[in-house]
Amino acid sequence: MFCEQCGWNAVTTYIAPIRADMTVYSVYADGISNPSRGQIRMLSRAACLNYLEIKRQLAKGSFLVYEGDAENVLRIIGDLDAYHIGYKIIPPFPYQA
């Protein structure tokens, strides 16, 4: 919108709920018994761990892949879904991938 009298623009701010969400979410990889190289590579990128450490973590069972804001969690779970990797998110994640 533009005011013809004074020349100012009217700006409205809309912040998507996912951007305003200040909750810290934890994403755990879960239920991977025989991971492929692609799955390990993806987990390595997401968790910032090397190949050997990912293998060790997977042998233990569920492990923390990412902890952070909702926008990045949404990106991470999209990658996990693409590689068919099971996960759980704590606290419950209210957004859909």
- pLDDT tens digits for range 66-85: 999 999 999 999 999 999 99
pTM: 0.79
Residue 91 has pLDDT above 80, yes or no: yes
pLDDT given for residue 65 in this prediction: 95
Enumerate the domain spans of the chain.
21-90
The more confidently predicted of residues 88 and 61 is: 88
Spatial distance between the Cα atoms of 92 and 23, rounded to a whole number of angstroms: 10
CATH code of the region 21-90:
3.30.1390.10
Alpha-carbon distance 5 to 25, whole Å?
A: 48
pLDDT tens-digit readout, 19-55: 889 999 999 998 788 889 999 999 999 999 999 999 8
| Both structure tokens of 5 | 């009298």
Higher pLDDT, 92 or 9: 92
Enclosing H/E stretch for 64: strand 63-68
